[in-house]
Amino acid sequence: MLDLAVLGLLKEGDLHGYELNKRLKSLVGGYANSYGALYPALARLERRGWVSSTAVAPELVTDDQTSEEPARRGRKRSTRSKSGRTRKVYQITEAGEDHLLELLQEDANNERRFRLQLAFCRFLPPDRRLALFELRRAHLVSLQAMARRDPVHSNDP
């Protein structure tokens, strides 16, 4: 499911790891994730050709662009992190977009996966979006039928 979340967010726009992790946490249902899972997932997606990355060097900004204080005008100041590292910015590839469409069309029986599918269903063609909702409805109808047959052991909250 992490693949679906990452590819969906990258379909919206290029992101670096920190921003990607922040957006994962704000997804529908609060998709919690750790950097310990995110970066290996990004590396795996990149190996499979679904994601590419570009190293972006930190830019130098002059203080006259960021401050009106005359004594500091014209001095260069770095906006990079204290470590001075370049950031990797991740982009979804064409193969990644195809894989995202596959993930969006998988069964809708898992609550967490469906929330992610719902968050990114706008990337599906209308007929496939409708098919996703029909699959979800069929799943919910079957859960309802099971709950009616055996209300004591129903796992539907």
Which domain CATH number covers 115? 1.10.10.10
Total structural domains in the chain?
1
Q: Are 14 and 91 in contact (CB under 8 A)?
A: yes
| pLDDT per position as a tens digit, 111-124 | 888 888 999 999 99
Q: Are 15 and 42 in contact (CB under 8 A)?
A: no
State in Å, rounded, how far the first CA of the chain is from the last one: 22
Q: What backbone torsions phi and psi does residue 79 show, to the nearest 5 degrees?
A: -100, 5
Owning domain of residue 132: 2-153
User: Taking residues 131-143, what's their average pLDDT?
Assistant: 90
Model pTM above 0.85? no
User: Taking residues 133-149, what's their average pLDDT?
Assistant: 89
